[in-house]
Amino acid sequence: MNVTEKKCYMLDQGCPVHGYIHGKEAEELREGIEDLLEQHTQHAGGDESTAWKLLRGLRKLLDETDARDSLAWLESSDRPKAGTRKAHVEGVCMPVCGEEESYLQFFSKEHRAESITSILSKAGAPPTGWRLANALELPNEEYFSTIVEQYRTESGRTYPPLYRVRIHVVVEDVDAEETAKLWKEEDRSAQGDDA
């Protein structure tokens, strides 16, 4: 499993980070503006109504164009906000809904499982313990108030830190042949562990 940060780049099939072809938004805008200019230039002649029609057309074009490249640029790792940290987790996995916690079971030599909290921890956002989280919801009960006071004394904080999180998930199906191969490897590995 790769924990290094994946970079976005141009591809005919689409970007592996954002899931679409970069440059399409710009091309759609360029073509739309060229069409509007061609439609209205020949009728311009100082006609104010033509200018307003052009402005309305441009506004409609901007409203109807999916701003995917613009949003990708705003989210770009080249323009990080202060305090922004990132983690990248990638690999073939099986999503598992557990009794206590759901997680992703990765098919790798490490047999690693990742939960959303473990991925956030890789980005420098460690989780708050469930006892403290529960205690903060019921601060007036004596047992819970003791937990809260202990946290405040030991950490020097009034409350645990909060994080603004953006989760972008790209999922691709693994074909039947590769799926069978990975499961066979998993079975052999498990038999080796039991031996």
CB-based contact 76:8 (threshold 8 Å): yes
Domain boundaries, the chain: 7-79
Q: What pTM was estimated for this model as a whole?
A: 0.50
CB-based contact 153:123 (threshold 8 Å): no
In tens, the pLDDT along 66-117 reads 656 665 555 554 545 666 777 778 888 899 997 777 889 888 766 688 898 8
Q: Which two tokens stand for residue 156?
A: 């020097």
Q: What are phi and psi of 161, to 5 degrees?
A: -70, 150
In sequence order, the β-bridge partners of residue 105 are 94, 113
Strand order of the sheet with strand 113-114?
93-96, 103-106, 113-114
pLDDT for the residue numbered 1: 41
